[in-house]
Structure 1
Amino acid sequence: MSNQENTARLLPDVAVHAQPHLAGALDWVGMADIQVPVLFDAGDGEVQRASARVGAFVNLNQPDKRGIHMSRLYLQVEQALSTRTLTADSLHALLRGFLDSHKGLADRACLSIHFEHLVRRPALRSAHSGWRAYPVCIEASLTGQDFLLEFGTEVIYSSTCPASAALSRQLIQDQFAHDFDADEPIERAAVLAWLGSEQGIVATPHAQRSVARLRIRPVAGAGFDLIRLVDRVEHALGTPVQTAVKREDEQAFALANGGNLMFCEDAARRIQRALDADDLLSDFHIRVEHQESLHPHDAVAYASKGVEGGYGSTS
C-alpha cells in the first residue's frame, strides 16, 4: 500500500461519533448559497447558462446521528445543475438522489435555486430593443412521493396614481379658467398652444416604479415558461419598464401610463385575473408593491388563486 493510500484510509471522520447529550432530530440540514452554473430554458427554446446560488437540504430524523453527508449533496447539485437543463423531472431526480444518499438519516429533501435570466424586449415604437434581467427563484421539495415545485419572478412596471391624476386635472381646469376669459371667444390655435405650454400643464400626477412579485405552482408537465408568464403579467399591467428608449418610445410610455392609472389594488386584481385564466397554473401568489413618490412608505397588495392548502399569507 502506498503512503497516499494509507493517508487516505486513516483520515478521521468525527461525524460518525454520536453525542448522546446533544441528541435530537433536525428539520433541515444542508448548505445555502452554493455557487453553480445552471442551464435554463425560459420557454423560447434557447437555453441560457446563468450563475446561480443554490440551497440544498435534507432533514435529519435520527436523533442519535451527529450529521448528514454535505459533500454528497454538493456533488449531486454540481453534477445535475451544471450539466442538464432545469426541468421538473431533473429536479425531482436530484431530490430523490439526496434521499437515496441519506438512507436511514432523512426522509425529506428540499432545494432552492436563485439566478437571473436575460430576455430581449422590443421598444414600444422604435425599431430598437434591449435586455431585461428577470430574477428567477425555483423551489422544490420531496417528502415520500409528494413532490412540490414552485417558480417565481418579478415584473417591474410604472404606476400612476388615479387620485393624483384627478387632482391634477382639476388644477389644469382651474388654470384654464384663469387664463381664458369666459366672456371672450376662444380660438382653437390659442388653446392648442396653451395645452403645449408649461403654463397650461400646471400639475402632473405622481407615478412610481412598482414591483409585482410572483410565485406560481405550475401544473404537472407545464415546465418553467418564464417568458409566457412575464408577457401575460406585463400585458395585464400595460406599463412595464422599458429598455432602449427613443423619444417616440418615451411618448408611447407616457400614453400607456395615462391609459393605465392604477392603485396597488387595481394592479393586484389585474394580475390576479390574468393568472386565473392561465390553465398551466395550479396556484399562485402575488405581492404588488408601489414604491410611492408621495410617501416615504410603500403601498402593498396581495392576491392569490385561493385554492385549499395553497397560498394566502403576507409572507
Structure 2
Amino acid sequence: MNAIHLPDVAAQTATLNLPLDWVGMCDIAQSLTLEGQRISARADAGVSLDDAGARGIHMSRLYLALAELEQEELSADLLRQVLARFLDSHRDLSSSASLRLRGELLLKRSALVSPLAGWKAYPWEIHARQDPWGFHVELQLEVAYSSTCPCSAALARQLIQQRFAEEFADRPLERHQVLAWLGSTRGIVATPHSQRSSARLWVRLGGCTQIPVRHLVDMTEQALGTAVQTAVKRADEQAFALANGQNLMFCEDAARRVGGALRGEEWLEGFKLRVVHAESLHAHDAVAEYAWRYPL
C-alpha cells in the first residue's frame, strides 16, 4: 500500500506578506520536575514568524519539543535546550523563541512552636526567551506574609495608656491588680490592625543555572519575618501574635527589606518587586514597588 501524501497547508504562501512577532500555543498541560517535585504546570510556547511569505509555523514541532521538560530537573540549561529545538525546527522561519511556564511549588512549613507542619503553595512563573540578542530567563514568584500597621499599633498603645490612667487614677498600684487588669478586656482596650500581604518578585536569573524557587522563598520570608502559617496550635498562634507585634511594618518597610535582601544575591542580573498590604482598615490596598537593574 502506497503512503498517502498529506498536504502541508502551513507551507503555503501567505496571502498577505506580513511578519509576526509571536505565534504559538498557550495553556498547554505540562509535567515537569522543579525542586525535586513532580509538578503539573501550564506552558505557553511560541516563535516569531519572520518569513513574511510563510503562511504559518509548525505548532506540532513545538509541542513535541516540550517532551524534553519531562526528562530532567528544570534548569536554565534545559530551557535553553528546548528553545534551541524550537528554532531548529523552524529554521529560515523564526529568529526568536519563547517559553512561559507556570505552576505552584508545595513546600512543607513547620509551626513556630509546636511540632506541627503543613504544606504551603507558592505560585511561580518562568519566562525563557532566545532571540538574536541572547538567552534570557526570568522567574516570577509570589510569597504571602502578615503585616501589622505601625501607626495602628501606636494608636492602640495610646488608648491602653489612657485607659490605664483612668482605671488607676489616685489609686495605689498593686502588682497583682495590674497583672489582672492587663489580662482583661478592659486592659487591652484596643489592638492594632494587621492584614494578609503578598510580595511578588520578578527576577532575572543571569548566570544561575538552577531555578532557585525555594531559595528565593526562604530569603523573602526571612526578610519579612512574619510568613503566613499552616497547621497551628494555640502556642503557635500566640508566637505569631508576638512576632507580628515585634515586626511592625508599612508596605514601604516591606519593599525595602525584600529589595535589600535581593540586592545581596550576586547571581541576579536585576529584579523588580511589588508588595501589597490588603488593608483591613481601608477598602483599598497599600502598595510599594522597587526595581534594580530592571526596566519598568
Q: Give the TM-score of the pair, scaled to structure 2.
A: 0.97
Distance in 2 (CA, whole Å) between partners of 1:93 and 1:154 is: 27
Deviation of the 1:167 alpha carbon: 0.8
Aligned-partner residue type, residue 123 of structure 1: A
Deviation of the 1:57 alpha carbon: 0.9
Given the alignment of the two structures, is residue 52 of structure 1 paired with residue 41 of structure 2, yes or no?
Answer: yes
Which residue is 1:15 aligned to?
10
Which residue is 2:276 aligned to?
289
Which residue is 2:32 aligned to?
38
Aligned-partner residue type, residue 245 of structure 1: V
Q: Provide the identity percentage.
A: 54
Please state whether the residue corresponding to 1:254 is helix, strand or coil.
helix
* Unpaired runs of at least 5, structure 2: none
Large movers: runs of 4+ above 6 Å? none
Counterparts in 2 of 1:1-315, with a 5 A limit? Answer: 1-2=1-2, 5-6=3-4, 9=5, 11-20=6-15, 22-41=16-35, 47-77=36-66, 79-144=67-132, 146-181=134-169, 183-305=170-292, 307=293, 310-311=294-295, 313=296
Deviation of the 1:279 alpha carbon: 1.8
Please state whether the residue corresponding to 1:284 is helix, strand or coil.
strand
For the Cα contact (< 8 Å) 2:137–2:206, is it kept in 1? no
Distance in 2 (CA, whole Å) between partners of 1:95 and 1:139 is: 11
Distance 1:145 1:89, change over 3 A: farther
Task: Tell me the alpha carbon deviations over residues 218-270 of structure 1, each in whole angstroms, 9 at most, x when there is no partner.
Answer: 23134112222111111111100011101111111001101111110000001
Structure 1 stretch 205-214 or stretch 127-136: which is displaced more?
127-136
Aligned-partner residue type, residue 217 of structure 1: R
Distance in 1 (CA, whole Å) between partners of 2:244 and 2:33 is: 36
Please state whether the residue corresponding to 1:281 is helix, strand or coil.
coil
Distance in 1 (CA, whole Å) between partners of 2:246 and 2:140 is: 28
For the Cα contact (< 8 Å) 1:222–1:280, is it kept in 2? no
RMSD: 1.3
* Unpaired runs of at least 5, structure 1: 42-46
Aligned-partner residue type, residue 196 of structure 2: R
Deviation of the 1:153 alpha carbon: 1.1
Aligned-partner residue type, residue 282 of structure 2: H
Which residue is 1:44 aligned to?
none
> How many residue pairs were aligned?
296
Deviation of the 1:176 alpha carbon: 1.1
Distance in 1 (CA, whole Å) between partners of 2:184 and 2:251 is: 31
Distance in 1 (CA, whole Å) between partners of 2:50 and 2:205 is: 30
Aligned-partner residue type, residue 292 of structure 1: E
Please state whether the residue corresponding to 1:80 is helix, strand or coil.
helix
Task: Tell me the alpha carbon deviations over residues 281-313 of structure 1, each in whole angstroms, 9 at most, x when there is no partner.
Answer: 2211111001111111111110122x2xx24x2
Distance in 1 (CA, whole Å) between partners of 2:96 and 2:109 is: 40
Deviation of the 1:145 alpha carbon: 6.0
For the Cα contact (< 8 Å) 2:140–2:202, is it kept in 1? yes
Aligned-partner residue type, residue 122 of structure 2: Y
Structure 1 stretch 144-153 or stretch 259-268: which is displaced more?
144-153
